[in-house]
Amino acid sequence: MIHHYRLTIQYKGTRYFGWQIQAEGAGITVQGELNKALTNISKAKAHTMGSGRSDAGVHALGQVVKASIELEIEPEKLLKALNGHLPEDIRVIEAKLCAHDFMPTVDAVSKEYQYRFTSTRQPTALQNDFIGNYPFEVDIEKMRQACQLLIGEHDFVNYFCQGTEVSSTVREIFECEIITVAQANWGMLPAHHIFRIVGNGFLKQMVRLLMGAVWNVGRGKISLEEFESSLTSVKMERMGATAPPQGLYMVRVNY
């Protein structure tokens, strides 16, 4: 008999080739490590389904996973067993039973991502794995105006990396803002900004492409009007580069 568990996991994505299992020999993934741990615990093949994919180098604070195994075990004991088998840069922070028809992808009401960044010629020695850097002077207030333009339903065909088939590139953004964070942890983390976005779903590399465009708004390379015109079904040239992965965090999934 198959038993189903809902796991919430955190991971530092630096050394992983993303969430999803890749072809053999392509590199280690978070899902691959989780499946390996589940198999060792249950002594049988495990099946997992995540709430969304994350690219190589991207982190997660609240990835939700459905794990299906042939072992019946108390969720708290499964949590402890998994953390005993997983690498230290992957942690299960919550485990509970779930229904067999729970789908962490389609059942999600909204997801929140955050992109942490600095804009300095001299990034700190310790930020490289955790905070992206755009080494140009930017107008944060103008970037906040760009965030407001994102709220609502738009076609994000211009903020979509090909490679995954989707039925529609239309998504609704519920919240979007830029938060400024003071220097923290005795200077280990520098003062930085957070591009925070909540929506009903996200396309492949959508947040990183939006971050690149919002940076260009702040730098004055594109206008707010040009940015707004890119949020339509009309295919246009890229509004900016894809932001590097290390600043991006999958923060939470709401059900």
The interaxial angle of helices 206-219 and 140-150, nearest 10 deg, is 140
Question: Half-sphere exposure (CA, 13 Å, Cβ side) for 121?
Answer: 1
Residues facing 50 on adjacent strands: 65
9 Cβ partners below 8 Å, 6+ apart?
Answer: 30, 34, 60, 63, 65, 90, 91, 92, 93
The catalytic residue among 55, 89, 101, 129 is: 55
Active site residue 129: no
Distances (CA, A) of 67 to 8, 52, 63, 76, 201: 10, 14, 12, 14, 22
DSSP one-letter code for 184: B
| Cβ partners under 8 Å of residue 16, min gap 6 | 27, 28, 29, 30, 33, 56, 57
Q: Judge whether 235 and 157 are in contact, CB under 8 Å.
A: yes
Q: For 144, list phi and psi in degrees, rounded to 5.
A: -65, -35
CA distance linking residue 106 with residue 252, whole number of Å:
15
Burial of 131 from C-beta contacts in 10 A (0-12 / 13-18 / 19+):
buried
Catalytic residues: 55
